[in-house]
Homo-oligomer: A and B are copies of this chain.
């Protein structure tokens, strides 16, 4: 039951209709007895700053969940960034503190890595192929690097963006073998870290036919749960890992992060 005492939060996305976080996070709020509600907002990129600032001004506003395409542009509108958000230049959750400031953090890399662990997939020492160099991909790259993968190949439409991510990774993880590469063959894990697969007519983020036998194919896309990429991988007999693992593992961390100051928000 939403009342005048309820703390309000919003998920910023464009498009927004496919997001699953409102259902999932509102259920967690209810289970934890927290009087808060997350609502969807479909924000065009050019309006992102105005929307963030307009809600930041509201005293009972507790924070944002941020997703495609805003994760790499929203850090500029935060007051404080966590080290991992700053390293990846990407934010997917923003808490409005009791001081009225916006604290940005990036939980989806951690969520993705924990999702692999929950599925029993060891990442240390593995050779990983990653499609994408945007918000989710950057977060995943840093979380996997922190867990000791041996090598990371990054494929991105813009090579300059891939090289920039590689440079940031190299600065923090000099032992990691990391380079830009479009060929997904010869890897233990191949990850789609792009938004390709969200729409039915999207091209595949990489060619499943090029994957080596034994490669695990993992997704960040949550809806549809089994993307065209995963369907093609399964048809080749490869193990798949859906995007819902990442979402589920993130929810506890989001809940904890977003409600940290909630008693003091009003």
Would you call A37 an interface residue if the criterion is a C-beta within 8 Å of the partner chain's C-beta atoms? Answer: yes
Cα–Cα distance between A10 and B44 once the two chains are bound (Å): 19
- What chain B residues lie within 8 Å of A61 (beta carbons)? 41-42
Supposing A4-B19, A4-B22, A54-B51 touch, asked if A60 and B44 sit within 8 A by C-beta, the answer is no
C-alpha gap A53/B53 in the complex (Å): 10
- Most B CB contacts (10 A, CB to CB) among A6, A38, A39, A41 go to A39
Give the complex CA separation of A258 and B51 in angstroms: 21
Within A46-98, which residues are at the interface with B (CB < 8 Å)?
47, 50-55, 57-61
Q: Is A200 an interface residue (CB 8 A)?
A: no
Q: Are A2 and B17 touching (Cβ within 8 A)?
A: no
Which of B2, B16, B26, B54 touches A38 (beta carbons < 8 Å)? B2
A60→B40 contact, CB < 8 A: yes
The answer on a CB contact under 8 Å between B43 and A57 is yes
* CB-CB nearest in chain B for A26: B2
Which B-chain residue is minimally distant from A37 (CB atoms)? B39
Chain B residues with CB under 8 A of A13:
4
B43 touches A6 (CB 8 A): no
Given A16-B60, A17-B266, A266-B17, A2–B50 Cβ distance below 8 Å?
Answer: no
> Are A22 and B3 CB-contacts (below 8 A) given A54-B50, A57-B51, A58-B47?
yes
A172 interface residue (CB < 8 Å to B): no
A245 to B43, CA, bound (A): 37
* CB closest residue in chain B, given A59: B42
- Distance in angstroms between the alpha carbons of A167 and B43 in the assembled complex: 43
A40 to B11 CA separation, bound complex (whole angstroms) = 16
Return A14 CB to nearest CB of chain B, in Å.
Answer: 8
1/0 contact trace for A1-25 toward B, CB 8 Å? 1111110101101101111101100
**A223 nearest in chain B by CB position:** B4
A5: which of B5, B17, B26, B43 is its contact (CB, 8 Å)?
B17
7 additional A-B residue pairs with CB within 8 Å, beyond A42-B60, A47-B57: A2-B23, A2-B37, A2-B38, A2-B39, A6-B40, A42-B266, A51-B55
27 A-B contacts (beta carbon < 8 Å): A2-B38, A2-B40, A4-B11, A4-B17, A4-B18, A4-B19, A4-B40, A5-B17, A6-B22, A6-B39, A8-B40, A8-B41, A14-B59, A17-B266, A40-B60, A41-B58, A41-B60, A42-B61, A42-B266, A43-B57, A43-B59, A44-B57, A47-B54, A50-B57, A51-B57, A53-B54, A54-B55
